[in-house]
Structure formats: structure tokens, C-alpha cells
């Protein structure tokens, strides 16, 4: 919200902030031209309450709605209602959100468009006979995926045939509870891949360009923890992924600042995984390596301004650490509460995106991320050294944070060598706290 507001202020656009009652201490509320409480701390009563959000937008005279990074950012039904109210959603159309938000329909479109996809099925699994047949054909291990899944949810790895049916039924129940849709399909499980995503920018005239990629392989429970730009992929592989990302955006008629995500196996084969139609949390590292403001471009595209048509290649190296209010020494258990002391790091090449301050109370209601710490330098080695220094300076007291985890990771030999895949966190062990 702060990033969006700052851009709007620079562009002379007035803003209206909506918030839940537990977020009444947010800086975004006081920086907005207007602010409206839309419900209680329960997300279903506020940030997922479409009627309240649209009422606030209409009564305050808004022309457009920016959905941010989460909640309704990739919700096609919400986008349809925004359009029906005569408002502009800053992002793609509801048609594109629905098409690419369904992993199975997105997979099929990419296959038809010539973008590599993981071996698997092109339809929903309807019964046990079909389930066994497809899994036996592609070979174990396999990955069960919720067609309507997202945010790392709705996926289950199956390594043995005897676990297949039980895994399918459990994944269906989880998908039904999380997405109100229990459609499941199967893909071959690509073991220990790298997760590389391509940032794209597209306007309403059909112009599409690619921007520097991000390596997001270091994850926990399919949730990204650290991101880097550029990746360590070779130039030939990147050129192919850039081309496929542009093909993806053109095939679905995308408009805005989206991300096409790929997995890369140990043989440098790459496969389409999904498209995030919203702007992503980790977009700042792409901004840093090319000195570009993606939120600003997103707003301009929504206003009908054509893009330059220029592809961008990275000039610097950037790393982002997601700082969460979690205890890394206690299985990353969430740690809401009052921040009693906060000292932010600074200096050349250090960027801190945060909404918290000394005295701020982190509510237990939402995601535990409280800051994004980004360092930028001429080389990867310098960016790591700068990150280590910035993490040392970053003081947050009153709650537990993942700062100690990130500090240990910056000294990990495999990380320093760039030798990591999505399996990294399975092997990583936190060293004991000082004094233990």
C-alpha cells in the first residue's frame, strides 16, 4: 500500500486506503487522502469483503482499484465485479485472471502455444482408475496439483504407487477447503529444480517486454524466503525462457506487470509452472538491477499509456530477504506482538520496504512478513556482503524475527557458491542460539 501511495503521490493521483480495524495503526492510512475502515480483523469481514471494498471505492469517487499482492489480487470474481461497477482494476482483465489462475487451463494454453510444460495430464482426474493410469504412464515420483491452487498451496508429492489414492483424496479435501474447488491433476515431479521466474510488462496494445529474471529457489513449504536477480542460469537458457515468457503473455492477452514462473532441472530443461497475474512481493530486486519502478509502470499501463517496447537486462546484482515475525529456532512459529525497538539498516545499496515502527503491534490475523530487505551491488559477492552487514544493523525487539536465519544463510557454503535448489531448506539446519 505504501509503495502504491508513494507512486500515486508523485503522479498527482489521490488515494483512498481501506483497512481492517486491527490495521488502524498502519502508516498507509495516514498517508492516504482518504481512509475507510471496511470491517473487522477477520479477513473474510474486511480484505475479502468485496461488497465493502466496492462500496468504499464508489462512495469515495475512485476511478481504479489496486489489489496489492495478496487477498483479491488474483481473484477473477472480484475483477469481474470491479469491471461491472465501471471501475478499472490495476492489473489484467477478469478473463485473463480466470484463465491463468486455473493451473490446468494455463498449462493447456502454454502447451498449445509451444511453451514447454512438465509431462502430465491435460484434464482433471475423475477416478482412481484414471489416477493410476496417468501416474504409471509418467512414472514416479508424481506431483498432485490443485487446478485452482496458488501461493504454494494445493500440491502434494507422491513417491510410491501405494500412496497415490490416499494422497489424491487428501489433496482434494485440502483444495476444497482452501479454494472451494477440488479439481486435481497430475504432473511428473521434477526433483530438486531451480525456480526461476521472468518479469514481464505488457500494455493494452499487445506490446510485451521481458525484464530481468529472479531466482526464487530458496523456499520453505513452497513459500519463497530469499530471491536474487539475476539468476546464475546460462545465457542460452535465459534467452529461451525470456522468449517463452513473452509467448505466454501474448497467448493469454495479458496486460500489466506479471511474472511467468519456470522450474529448471539439473539438465537445464525448463518447464512452465504458472503465471502470477499480479505484481509479486519480490519485484523490488528486478527494479533495483535496472533502476525501474514497476508499480509506476503498472499504473501507467492501466491508464492506457503504451510501454516503450524495450527489453531490459540487469546491470547490477540484487538480493531480497523476506523478514518475517517468526521464530526460526522454533520451526518458524509466528511471533505476533508489539515491536518495542526498531532500528532500520541503511547505507548505499540498502533498501528496506516495511510498514512497521517502534511501538507497532503486529496482529496475528495476517501474513507474518514485516519487511523486505534488499541489497544491490556490482557483483553477487558484494551484494551478499552488503546484506550481511545490513542484517547485522537491523534490530527488531519485542518479537522474534527471521533475521538470525538470514544471517546464517549468508554464511552457508552452498548459498555462497550459488549451489542451491528448491531442496535447500530441507537440508539447512539452524545453528544454536548464542548462549545455548
* Residues classed as catalytic: 278
Helix (H) or strand (E) segment spanning residue 283: helix 283-290
Which three-class secondary structure state does DSSP give residue 150? coil
**Inter-helix orientation angle 164-179/128-138, to 10°:** 110
| φ, ψ of residue 112 in degrees (nearest 5) | -65, -30
Q: What is the dihedral of CA 271, 277, 281, 283, to 10 degrees?
A: 80
- Residue 325 near residue 364, CB atoms below 8 Å: no
Which three-class secondary structure state does DSSP give residue 294? helix
For residues 71 and 23, give the distance between their C-alpha atoms in angstroms, rounded to a whole number.
Answer: 15
- Residue 168 near residue 145, CB atoms below 8 Å: no
| Block residue for cell numbers 542484517 | 391
Q: How far is residue 430 CA from its own chain's centroid? A: 25
| Residue 387 burial (CB count, 10 A) | 27
| Block residue for cell numbers 507422491 | 158
Instruction: List the beta strands (DSSP E) in 106-163.
Output: 142-146, 155-158
Amino acid at each position: 500500500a505504501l509503495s502504491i501511495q508513494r507512486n500515486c503521490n508523485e503522479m498527482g493521483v489521490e488515494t483512498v486506503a481501506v483497512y481492517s480495524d486491527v490495521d488502524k495503526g498502519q502508516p498507509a492510512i495516514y498517508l492516504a487522502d482518504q481512509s475507510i475502515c471496511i470491517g473487522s480483523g477477520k479477513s473474510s469481514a474486511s480484505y475479502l469483503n468485496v461488497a465493502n471494498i466496492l462500496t468504499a471505492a464508489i462512495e469515495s469517487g475512485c476511478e481504479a482499484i489496486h489489489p496489492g499482492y495478496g487477498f483479491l489480487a488474483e481473484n477473477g470474481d472480484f475483477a469481474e465485479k470491479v469491471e461491472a461497477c465501471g471501475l478499472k482494476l490495476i492489473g489484467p482483465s477478469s478473463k485473463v485472471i480466470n484463465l491463468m489462475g486455473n493451473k490446468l487451463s494455463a498449462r493447456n494454453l502454454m502447451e498449445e502455444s509451444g511453451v514447454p510444460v512438465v509431462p502430465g495430464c491435460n484434464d482433471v482426474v475423475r477416478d482412481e482408475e484414471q489416477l493410476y493410469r496417468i501416474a504409471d504412464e509418467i512414472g514416479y515420483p508424481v506431483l498432485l496439483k490443485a487446478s485452482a491452487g496458488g501461493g504454494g498451496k494445493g500440491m502434494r508429492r507422491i513417491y510410491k504407487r501405494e500412496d497415490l489414492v490416499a494422497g489424491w483424496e487428501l489433496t482434494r479435501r485440502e483444495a476444497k477447503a482452501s479454494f472451494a474447488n477440488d479439481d486435481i491433476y497430475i504432473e511428473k515431479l521434477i526433483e530438486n529444480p531451480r525456480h526461476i521466474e521472468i518479469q514481464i510488462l505488457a500494455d493494452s496494445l499487445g506490446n510485451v517486454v521481458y525484464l530481468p529474471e529472479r531466482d526464487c529457489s530458496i523456499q520453505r513449504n513452497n513459500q519463497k524466503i530469499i530471491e536474487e536477480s539475476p539468476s546464475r542460469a546460462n545465457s542460452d537458457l535465459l534467452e529461451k525462457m525470456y522468449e517463452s515468457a513473452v509467448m505466454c503473455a501474448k497467448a493469454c492477452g495479458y496486460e500489466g506487470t506479471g511474472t511467468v514462473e519456470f522450474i529448471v532441472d539439473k539438465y537445464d530443461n525448463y518447464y512452465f509452472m504458472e503465471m502470477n497475474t499480479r505484481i509479486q512481493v519480490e519485484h523490488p530486486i528486478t527494479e533495483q538491477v535496472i533502476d525501474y519502478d514497476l508499480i509506476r509502470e503498472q499504473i501507467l499501463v492501466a491508464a492506457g499509456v503504451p510501454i516503450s517496447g524495450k527489453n531490459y537486462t540487469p546491470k547490477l546484482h540484487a538480493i531480497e530477504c523476506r523478514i518475517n515475525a517468526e521464530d526460526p529456532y522454533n520451526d518458524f512459529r509466528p511471533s505476533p506482538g508489539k515491536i518495542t525497538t526498531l532500528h532500520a539498516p541503511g547505507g548505499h545499496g540498502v533498501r528496506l520496504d516495511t510498514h512497521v515502527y517502534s511501538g507497532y503491534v503486529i496482529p496475528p490475523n495476517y501474513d507474518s512478513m514485516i519487511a523486505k530487505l534488499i541489497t544491490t551491488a556490482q557483483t553477487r559477492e558484494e551484494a551478499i556482503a552488503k546484506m550481511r552487514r545490513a542484517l547485522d544493523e537491523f534490530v527488531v525487539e519485542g518479537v522474534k524475527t527471521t533475521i538470525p536465519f538470514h544471517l546464517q544463510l549468508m554464511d552457508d557454503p552452498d548459498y555462497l557458491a550459488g549451489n542451491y535448489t528448491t531442496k535447500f531448506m530441507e537440508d539447512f539446519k539452524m545453528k544454536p542460539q548464542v548462549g545455548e
